[in-house]
Chains A and B, each alone.
Chain A
Amino acid sequence: SSELIYGAYILVWPAVTLGVLVVICWAVVRDARKARASDEDLL
């Protein structure tokens, strides 16, 4: 159990990072599609 706890304590951070990466990429793709549809610039 201590190995599991240690492993989880280390690996939870890259897992959260992956989650944030997915959210950010999803939001940027959504904004890019909106910008293209309305013929505006993304930035």
Chain B
Amino acid sequence: MNENGFTQFSTLTVLLLLAAFYGGTYLLTLLIRKDKEDTSGFMVAGHQVGFGMGAASMTATWIWAASFYAAATSGYTYGVSGPIHYGLWGALMILFIYPFGRRFRKLAPHGHTLGELIHARHGPSSQLILAGSNILGSVISLMVNFTAAGALVSILSPLSFQTGVIVAGVGVLAYTLTSGFRASVFTDFAQLVALMAIAIIIIPAVLFAAGGPAVMVDGLSQLTVEQANIFSMDAILNQGAPFFVAVLAYAIGNQTISQRLFAVRESHIKSTFVTATIGYGAIVIGLGMIGLMALSVGMEPIDGNMNNIIPQMVSTYLSPLFVGLFFILVIGSLSSTADSDLSALSTIMMADVYGKNIAGDQANPRTMMLVGRVTMIAATVAGLIFASFSLDILVMLVFVGALWGAVVFPVIVSCYWDRVTNAAFTWSVVVAMALFCIARFDLLEMTGLTVLTFEVLASVGGAVVIGLMVFGFFGRTAGLLAGLLVLVPMLIYSTGFLRDYTTLMASLTAYGASALVCTAMSLFSNERFDFDLIKQRVGDYDGVDEESNLVPEGAK
């Protein structure tokens, strides 16, 4: 144990653990390395990822370092229902996107990014709004994951924070650089097997080492009434509702998800994403239960830092072997997400930026591969720099979350409704972001008619969220009906109430405003888009015959 109460490994032990993890992962990628990688393989594994690999990759990608810490924090803070309010909504992000993913895939069977599809539908301005939000999200994710590596290494060993950050960054880049997305998926499978095996061992081990269910039940008397209630309104309003609102936004805003929607065999999309939903939920909620156990036994997190809950519980009740397993658990989770972010960023730069906006009709596969690999190196360096400076990214995170919320309605509706125009898409996002900023940062005095207007917009936003979710599974009529059924009680109960929950109101306002503007402008348009054009405009980039100068479909 060190002076902080954590198990302390020697420098040599931690370096060996890191070398074993990253060295082993690198060796795995040698099994699938090709002499000549093509762009389709590098970006989406040739659209041929099977059910098992796809489900493993989606699950591992969606579990990042923050998943365990935040789920445990939720369990410790909100009690019995806390872990569910973190893990369930995160899992539903995977579930609710798949019906739309099947539509994306039907429209663009050979697509690589959602931005390509939007480019084919609307042109560059709408595409770059979406691609920009994807890039911001992935860069933030990279930075957070590298930061988590630095924090973990500095807590459990004499090594510095910077050392952990650099080892994670270089390690992830080393095994992802050559084969891109194929390496990401293949290593995700191995990392997920390790993650799941460790979670299956650690959760019961902590429970019984801490005294078993009998001791835990005795400790439940220390919980507040809200913490002991599985239907705690405190947990629903503060943890569940903001997360629920973000379900579709996070899924649409993340290229790591859309990349897998385009990579998995079309017939396996449903089974892959349903399995990933269950896998993600079980692992994250299960590890979140360690936070509930900590609350039940009356443990106080060291320095009041909630991120210490899991390492503290494992260090207190289990042998150093389990702490080593926990170390691999966190390194595996952050690496699987970081390699997916690198693949996502490289694909956006290859397809959205170079393929669609720079090369025009002359996209060269070799140049494209170079763009992808240079992007990976640049993104890793940027992630390392941001992580090393421990930048406060809260405002940026809030902004990106709102941007994702603002693009949800226009992106989805553009794939179904032939009247949506590029102007409707662009202006709906701009207006939604402006109104979000006003509500979130109190740029106007939130009283009287002003705050009432925002509450009405937020009510529309709530109806849009539910309506879109139902629409994805049950079609337009059911979606509209569900939206109306939510809108009426929202208008009655949220006026005078939502103003006390600024973050929630601002997020819902982004949804509501973008939906209203996009719908109104589309109704005034005379455009009737032919969706068959998307299939013609989005294709693979390989196969340029340099002698005859034939241009691949995707480059057009």
A37 within 8 A of B: no
B62 to chain A minimum Cβ distance, whole angstroms, is 13
Assess the A24–B275 pair: CB atoms within 8 A.
yes
Known: A13-B203, A28-B50. A6 touches B189 (CB 8 A): no
In the complex where A6-B217, A41-B32 touch, is A17 in contact with B283 (Cβ < 8 A)? yes
Contacting A at CB under 8 A, from B189-238, are 189, 192-193, 196-197, 199-200, 203-204, 207, 212-214, 216-217, 220
Q: Quick one: given A10-B203, A14-B200, A43-B185, are A28 and B56 in contact (CB under 8 Å)?
A: yes
Chain A residues 1 to 43 lying within 8 A of chain B, measured CB to CB, are 2-4, 6-7, 9-11, 13-14, 16-18, 20-21, 23-31, 41-43
Closest CB in chain B relative to A41 CB, distance in Å: 7
- Cβ-defined contact, A20 with B49, below 8 A: no
Contacting residue for B186 out of A11, A26, A43, CB 8 A: A43
Q: With both chains docked as a complex, state the minimum distance between the C-beta of B113 and any C-beta of chain A, in angstroms.
A: 19
Chief secondary structure at chain A's binding surface: helix
Contacting residue for B52 out of A7, A17, A30, CB 8 A: A30
> Are B55 and A11 within 8 A (Cβ)?
no
Q: Return the chain A residue nearest B280 by Cβ.
A: A20
Interface residue B285 (Cβ < 8 Å from any Cβ of A) = yes
Number of interface residues of B (CB under 8 A): 42
**With an 8 A cutoff between CB atoms, is B45 at the interface?**
yes
B306 within 8 A of A: no
Residue on B with the closest CB to A40? B48
B32: which A residues are within 8 A, CB to CB?
41-43
Q: Is the CB of B199 within 8 A of A14?
A: yes
Contact flag A24-B192 (CB < 8 Å), given A10-B289, A43-B182:
yes
Selected from B45, B193, B214, B282, the residue in CB contact (under 8 A) with A43 is: B45
Q: What sequence of 0s and 1s flags, for each residue 9-32 of chain B, a beta carbon within 8 Å of any chain A beta carbon?
A: 000000000000000000000001
* Contact B285 A13, beta carbon cutoff 8 Å: yes
B263 nearest CB neighbor, chain A only: A43
How many contacts between A and B, using CB within 8 angstroms?
Answer: 107
**Contacts A14-B200, A24-B275, A24-B279; A42 near B217 (Cβ below 8 A):** no
Complex Cα distance, B282 from A2, in Å, reads: 22
Please determine whether A7 and B213 come into contact, CB atoms closer than 8 angstroms: yes
Which residues of B227-284 have CB atoms within 8 Å of chain A's CB atoms? Answer: 275, 278-279, 281-283
Known: A20-B282, A27-B51, A28-B52. A4 touches B213 (CB 8 A): yes
* In the complex, chain A residues whose CB is within 8 Å of the CB of B289: 9-10, 13
Most A CB contacts (10 A, CB to CB) among B51, B182, B185, B275 go to: B51
Please, which residue of chain A has its CB at the minimum distance from the CB of B289? A10
Hey, which chain A residues are within 8 Å of B217, CB to CB? Answer: 2-3, 6
In angstroms, Cα B286 to Cα A29, docked, is: 26
Contacts of A4 in B (CB 8 A): 213
Cβ 8 A contact of A17, one of B49, B200, B292: B200
Chain A residue numbers with a CB within 8 Å of B285 are 13
Contacts of B281 in A (CB 8 A): 16
Least CB distance from B202 to A in Å reads 8
11 interchain pairs, CB-CB under 8 A: A2-B217, A3-B214, A6-B213, A10-B216, A13-B289, A21-B196, A21-B197, A24-B193, A30-B52, A42-B50, A43-B32
Top 9 nearest A-B pairs (CB, nearest first) are A27-B52, A13-B286, A28-B52, A7-B213, A16-B282, A31-B50, A20-B279, A3-B213, A17-B282
Residues of A bordering B, CB below 8 Å: 2-4, 6-7, 9-11, 13-14, 16-18, 20-21, 23-31, 41-43
